[in-house]
Amino acid sequence: MLVQHEKFEVATNGKGTYEITNAVQDKIDKSDVRNGIVTIFVQHTSCSLTAMENAAPGARRDVERFFEKLVPEDADYEHDDEGPDDMPSHIRMLRNDYHQQKRISSQAIILL
């Protein structure tokens, strides 16, 4: 069984949604893996991963607004060691996950 480990960093401008599909696909393209499984993992406790069909800017903004309503930043949180958005970020992360596995077929990610 072939196992490869690669990593990349995502530059952000703070809170928001970030498209990483191309970065993951680029790592697959440069690998020897044609068919298999890719595990995507984020190493931070206040961010998460999700798969969305067609991550159009409007769809991403709708998701961001949904999470703002679901977990408002102005609620009375006890934990605010890293700022007022710290605890809401931790709670939002609980809705998704910090890792995902996707199939690879002919070196292409199968998102669904």
**Averaged in consecutive runs of 10 residues, what is the pLDDT profile of the chain (112 residues)?**
89 87 95 94 86 81 91 87 82 85 95 76
CATH number for region 21-110: 2.60.120.460
Domain boundaries, the chain: 21-110
Residues in the chain: 112
Q: How far apart are CA 81 and CA 112, in angstroms?
A: 37
Report yes or no on whether pTM surpasses 0.95: no
List Cβ<8 Å contacts ≥24 apart for 77-86: 85/15, 86/46
